[in-house]
Chain A
């Protein structure tokens, strides 16, 4: 057999179409849920959407969580988790304020860069411990959650950074808009697009999925697992660092408790957005939409007549609902895939 036969085009099977449609359906589903929430709240109180503040807050509040959720999604996709992001936000937000106070001659972009760098370094510590010491990320980041927050409180004491301490231009970016879209939202969307592109279209991005899908196989393939895990945590830390800057710009007031509890919201956003806690599945788009959904629900609850102290319960119920749904779908998908192969043979 020396002649090369013409390449046969293999048609995409119906099953594959259905499964990829399911993935997109998840993202579509949360978008629909988001739309429902917004519509319901607006019906109750038109100012929710149709007022300057309403529209701005709708887009602005989730932007910060979006960044963190994107970073968390990348880490979770590699079959790890980063519980320290809340503390990282606190430290970098405080650093931002402190730099403005103690070194007012620093140009704003440099301050931003330094804060992001701090976040990256904090992420590097996590990543090094996980990748080199081979310790479960959950435990490591639980420890750094504590340690980083403790450093934050030690540093800040009982002082706060106030809006008056920060340059007006900086705060303007935090609350300002271009063409009715808040600047921070635009930045967040740009970051999101870049991350999504990276995860979908580069070798590095695909390797994250491989590592989360089967870490042992990834080693056998010769993928550089250690390096990838390290970078995932650095990215998560850097994005949390940027979120800290956003926090300072948006709220203008930073205490030592800034960002506390955000790690749970970030994990929740990712899980609701379709990122499987076991890794290998999901997208940063889903995590971002999940973040928007979570924050919007939080704001919509009081308008819908539910006191906002039920927020946490709603988040918890959503997380559990999401992972149960994922499990049921995964079992069904597996069964269908196996049946399909038995049919073919």
Chain B
């Protein structure tokens, strides 16, 4: 006799305008189980979760909770139905205490509606004991580590008696010990009969913690298997669905002189003793798990953040830190990780965005007109084949792929010698992905040095001449193209080995 699954989704579809985010969302999670949900970026996992959480409403398909059809129009409804989502970046109230955060809106009350603080504290202590944590309940939520914030979110969910907990990339910013603590909590929740969904890119964790695994690809359901019956290779094959090496051809290029030299870059608590070189014609891949500190290194090199120790040199000349204009003048460009908030002025037009970084160079006698901007922007927009109605089309209306092209156009217009690109193809359709890769290859062929930060192993393996791997703020491996495999890159990303110079 099989019990009714806690969550059942079958052929759920969701589209945003012309973009189809979810083609066939299917998953079935039982009580007392930890169910892994994996897939590449853009596979549709996030959309699926948001539908379950009540943030979006599905266009079609079945959605059942404990056997009953449901249709959530708000997060409050899904919470009331026993669904809790632990996001990568929990949203707590920084100025309030941990206890208040857990019970906000439903504090235990006594006479006259007076909050019963003693009962609340007792309840929190009970919760924390059960979860095996020792965070001070009266402490302000501000400054708590991500790990602790997640635990508080879980405590909240448990106190709401959630029957389904969804954890979205929970271990991305966690240390080894914190991961262990999280897993212990997850297992105890499972043993209590709750259902958990665990979304992650880290297969060792998935295989350690979960009992079932569902794979998604390009918005569609691929397969569900019991963990015991499958292997990492099988899962990767299902996720990628094609032979890895063919997709990302990097033309062999003559590698020239060193352009960017980073030495001993350190910011305590973020990254430590980062040293590497990027040469002309070379694509250096910077791999690692989310939270390893790669984007922070990129920002420090480019001058958006400052660093405590170390030097950054372009063609031998040191660059002052903390000034993006200095890095730009030296010939460095940075395509940042967050396209919408850092890469683009999202509410501005395509033309404006493309010319933002070269605005000073474009000006004649200090003056700049839209006509001059458009002339320059049109050149780059057509070179990169940006699909937009016009140059004054607002960037927010473009697809992810086209937005990325606009960011690339902006930085290529500055004629950089070194391009740092952080997650070049995240959230982009397959076709544009290939275009971007071809472009990067071409640029390298023309002598540009490229530092490519990526969390997608196939991309790193296919594109990079050399792969640097970071883990918890340090470079743990440097592997040549010929020797690099997904296994040894993954190994270096998840285990601290001796740092290679």
Q: A263 to B428, alpha carbons, bound, how many Å?
A: 52
Whole-angstrom distance from the CB of A212 to the nearest CB of chain B? 8
Known contacts A16-B139, A206-B100, A334-B143; is-contact A217 B91 (Cβ 8 Å): yes
CA distance A342 to B105 in the complex (A): 31
Is B125 at the interface (CB under 8 A from chain A)? Answer: yes
> In the complex, what distance in Å separates the CA atom of A221 from the CA atom of B93?
10
**Chain B residue at minimum C-beta to C-beta distance from A279:** B95
Q: Which residues of B contact A20 (CB under 8 A)?
A: 138
Using Cβ atoms and an 8 Å threshold, which residues of chain A touch B147?
345
Partner of B95, one of A5, A11, A213, A221: A213
Give complex CA distance A337, B109 in Å.
30
- Are B115 and A201 in contact, with the CB atoms below 8 A? yes
A8 close to chain B: CB less than 8 A: yes
Shortest distance from the beta carbon of A280 to any chain B beta carbon, whole Å: 4
A333 to B105, CA, bound (A): 27
A232 at the interface (CB under 8 A from B): no
- Give the interface size class of chain A: 35 or more
Residues of B within 8 A of A214 (CB): 91-94
Let me know if B107 is at the binding interface, CB within 8 A: yes
| Docked-complex contact B94 and A202, CB < 8 angstroms | no
Q: How far is the CA of A263 from the CA of B94 in the complex (A)?
A: 28
Q: Which of B75, B107, B137, B269 contacts A206 (CB 8 A)?
A: B107
Per the 8 Å Cβ criterion, residues 71-111 of B in contact with A are: 74-76, 79, 91-96, 100, 104-107, 109
B142: Cβ under 8 A from any A Cβ: yes
- For A222, the closest partner residue in chain B by CB is B76
The contact string, 1 if C-beta is below 8 Å from chain B, for chain A 203-236, is: 1001101101110111011110000000000000
- Asked whether A213 and B94 contact (CB < 8 A) given A16-B136, A341-B143, A341-B148, the answer is yes
B96–A13 touching, CB < 8 Å: no
Q: A8-B125, A340-B143 are in contact. Are A13 and B136 (CB under 8 A)?
A: yes
Q: How far is the CA of A222 from the CA of B100 in the complex (A)?
A: 15
**Interface check B177, CB cutoff 8 A:** yes
Would you call A13 and B139 a contact (CB within 8 A)? yes
Choice from B93, B104, B178 contacting A345 with Cβ under 8 Å: B178
Interface residues of A in 167-224 (CB under 8 A from B): 201-203, 206-207, 209-210, 212-214, 216-218, 220-223
1/0 contact string of B132-147 vs chain A (CB within 8 Å): 0011111110111101
Q: Is B175 in the interface zone, CB < 8 Å from A?
A: yes
Contact residues in A for B91 (Cβ distance below 8 Å): 214, 216-217, 220
B495 at interface by CB-CB < 8 Å: no
C-alpha spacing A15/B113, complex, angstroms: 30
Chain A CB within 8 A of B308 CB = no
Residue in chain B with minimal CB distance to A204: B113
In the complex formed, the residue of B with least CB distance to A280 is: B95
Closest A residue to B116 by CB, please name it.
A201
Which residue in B104, B113, B129, B145 is a CB contact (below 8 Å) of A223?
B104
Q: Are A207 and B125 in contact (CB under 8 A)?
A: no
A338 on interface, CB distance cutoff 8 Å: yes
The CA-CA distance from A337 to B104 in the complex, in Å, is 22
Which chain A positions have C-beta within 8 A of B109?
Answer: 202-203
Q: Mark A1-23, 1 if CB is under 8 A from B, else 0.
A: 10011111111110110011000
A1 touches B115 (CB 8 A): no
Q: Specify the chain A residue showing the minimal Cβ separation from B130.
A: A4
Minimum CB–CB distance for B81 against chain A, Å: 13
Chain B residues within 8 Å of A207, by CB: 104-105
Residues of A within 8 A of B107 (CB): 203, 206
Query: Is B188 at the interface (CB under 8 A from chain A)?
Result: yes
Query: Across the interface, which residues of A come within 8 angstroms of B96, CB to CB?
Result: 206, 209-210, 213, 280
Residues of chain B within 8 A (CB-CB) of A161 are none
Asked whether B122 is an interface residue with its Cβ less than 8 Å from the other chain, the reply is: yes
B136 touches A12 (CB 8 A): yes
Selected contact of B113 from candidates A4, A6, A11, A202, CB within 8 Å: A202
Nearest CB in chain B to that of A282: its residue: B95
- For B94, the closest partner residue in chain A by CB is A213
B126 at interface, CB cutoff 8 A: yes
Q: Which residues of chain A come closer than 8 Å to B364, judged between CB atoms?
A: none
Does B114 have its Cβ within 8 Å of any Cβ on chain A?
A: yes
**Complex Cα gap A8–B127 (Å):** 10
Instruction: Tell me whether B139 and A9 are in contact (CB under 8 A).
Output: no
Is A203 in contact with B115, judged by CB distance below 8 angstroms?
yes
Chain A 238-250 near chain B by CB (<8 Å), digits 1 or 0: 0000000000000
List the B side residues contacting A223 at CB < 8 Å: 104-105
Within 8 A of A (CB), among B374-406: none
Q: B347 interface residue, CB < 8 Å from A?
A: no
Residue of B nearest to A77 (CB): B95
Please, which residues of chain B bring their CB within 8 A of the CB of A88?
A: none
Which among B74, B106, B125, B188 is the interface contact of A9 at CB below 8 angstroms?
B125
Q: Which residues of B contact A (CB under 8 A)?
A: 74-76, 79, 91-96, 100, 104-107, 109, 113-115, 122, 125-126, 128-130, 134-140, 142-145, 147-148, 175, 177-178, 188, 191, 269
Known: A7-B125, A13-B138, A206-B100. 10 other contacts (CB 8 A): A7-B122, A7-B126, A16-B140, A209-B100, A212-B95, A216-B91, A218-B93, A222-B105, A340-B143, A345-B145
The 9 closest A-B pairs by CB, nearest first: A337-B143, A222-B76, A280-B95, A217-B91, A213-B93, A213-B95, A13-B136, A16-B139, A338-B143
